Structure 1
Amino acid sequence: MGRSKTERRWLVYAGVSWDEMPIIAIDTETTGFRRSDRIVELGMVMFKGSDIIDTYHSYLNPGFHIPEETTEIHGISDKDVADAPRFDDIRVDVMDWLCRGAPWVAHNARFDMRMLSYDLPADKWPTGVPTLCTLLMAKKRGHSRAKLGDLAAHYNISQENAHTAVDDARVCGLLARKITAGFEILDYFTKYSQEWL
């Protein structure tokens, strides 16, 4: 029986060690969870193994009031983003990151990818990039408490500024490596990766 499209895509990593494997960890802070909501902070951290090799951060002005209930979660208010760029202003930078050829990883990837997709139309997305979700990965490994903070504590990963996009992305990237320790890359990713578009 032939390999699936996902399996064929991951063949490029056959024989690659985790220490050689680049990933881009992504986190968003938003105005809420609805289709009409938007990103107010974006963080991306590129890893090679456990080493951080590049970092991207931007606050974003959503163009409307940030509800107080979401400000209570991430601490970002209208005042904080009053002079921040709109997403269109950083679109080229974001696309540069997403097109670097490294797999993406996020905690609750479905949410972060959906929020990005609202500002990046389908024809602008790099196609076929496998994405790992550390929330899904943790549940597959039997963790009943799968919040990012709980998992960081379990795996002894320092969480310096919870609910800030860059630090959550950093923790997510380190968490992905911890959870997958002992697994062969090709086997793990063909079973647990997702694709967007």
Structure 2
Amino acid sequence: MIRSVLFDTETTGLDPRDGHRVIEVAALELINDLPTGVTFHRLIHPERDIPEDASRIHGMTLEHLKDAKVFKLIAEEMLAFMGADEMLVAHNAPFDFRFLNAELTLCGLPALGAHRMVDTLAMAKLRFPGMPNSLDALCRRFAIDLSERTSHNALLDCKLLAEVYVELTGGRQRGLSLAVDESGGQIAQYEAKDGRVSRPILVGAEEAERHAAFIQRLKNPIWLKDAEAETAAVA
């Protein structure tokens, strides 16, 4: 079992060297690259103003954060959730690492090591070179529902990115198998190992017939060899 953490931040601007701060941190747990539903989410008072340009992106003003804790009061809790050695997944990860490490430095805490970084933006650029690879673009490419994303929100972005990450890593194919239902039809089902309920997909008679006809056109198809071997073993 491999645990990793996918996370996102919202900030007051683009560069901590200009005095910009983190105002939101969200993270979710992954086991074997699949989300478990365990999350971490904190709003943070930045101890400074929030420029209008930033508020237009994430929808938050200083008024929204008037009762939020400052970063140093949530830092240890965040680090505990992220763990000591787990890989940390983010979209445009260098941006988020830069901001969190600036905050951790202000708190006198160790920075997140670059060796833990997994950047889904870099992964997407390798897979889709020359194409738009923002989170929105990837969600549209993978047919992931964006209807709730009316503004940037770290926790929602984490949940969307988790679905994108599953697609980028081929996670939806893990454990895929064929079974037979009570009527004799084939069912493609996902045998998840993390307690999630599988969603069976029925393969109808017409599709099965078309598949069988396609197999007959192949030279020495391995599917028929496997079937013949099973028949011989039973005999």
When normalised by structure 2's length, the TM-score is 0.64
Distance 1:141 1:59, change over 3 A: same
Q: Once the two structures are superposed, what CA deviation does each residue of 1:82-126 show, in whole Å capped at 9, x if it has no partner?
A: 110000010110110222542110000000000000111285235
Runs of at least 5 residues in structure 2 that lack an aligned partner in the other structure = 172-235
Q: Match of 2:175?
A: none
Distance 1:84 1:125, change over 3 A: same
SS of the equivalent of 1:120 reads: helix
Q: Is 1:65–2:49 an aligned residue pair?
A: yes
Partners of 2:115 and 2:82 in 1: how far apart?
A: 9
Out of 80, 96, 100, the residue aligned to residue 64 of structure 2 is 80
Partners of 2:84 and 2:161 in 1: how far apart?
A: 19
Q: Is 1:25–2:6 an aligned residue pair?
A: yes
Post-superposition shift, 1:169?
1.4
Runs of at least 5 residues in structure 1 that lack an aligned partner in the other structure = 1-19, 183-197
Partners of 2:38 and 2:139 in 1: how far apart?
A: 21
Q: Once the two structures are superposed, what CA deviation does each residue of 1:24-49 show, in whole Å capped at 9, x if it has no partner?
A: 11100000012210011111011224
Q: Match of 1:176?
A: 165
Specify the code of the residue in structure 2 equivalent to 1:31.
Answer: T
Post-superposition shift, 1:157?
2.2
**Alpha carbons 2:101, 2:112 under 8 Å: kept:** no
Q: Match of 2:144?
A: 157
Out of 76, 93, 107, the residue aligned to residue 92 of structure 1 is 76
Partners of 1:64 and 1:128 in 2: how far apart?
A: 28
Determine which structure has more spread, i.e. the larger CA radius of gyration.
Answer: 2
Distance 1:126 1:64, change over 3 A: closer
Distance 1:93 1:123, change over 3 A: closer
Post-superposition shift, 1:129?
4.6
Partners of 2:67 and 2:164 in 1: how far apart?
A: 33
**Alpha carbons 1:105, 1:173 under 8 Å: kept:** no
**Alpha carbons 2:28, 2:35 under 8 Å: kept:** no
Q: Is 1:105–2:89 an aligned residue pair?
A: yes
Specify the code of the residue in structure 2 equivalent to 1:135.
Answer: L
**Alpha carbons 1:24, 1:105 under 8 Å: kept:** yes
Q: Match of 1:124?
A: 110
Matched pairs, number:
163
Distance 1:140 1:151, change over 3 A: same
Q: Match of 2:127?
A: 141
Post-superposition shift, 1:52?
2.6
Out of 17, 22, 28, the residue aligned to residue 39 of structure 1 is 22
Partners of 2:84 and 2:166 in 1: how far apart?
A: 19
Distance 1:84 1:123, change over 3 A: closer
Identical pairs, percent? 29
**Alpha carbons 1:105, 1:172 under 8 Å: kept:** no
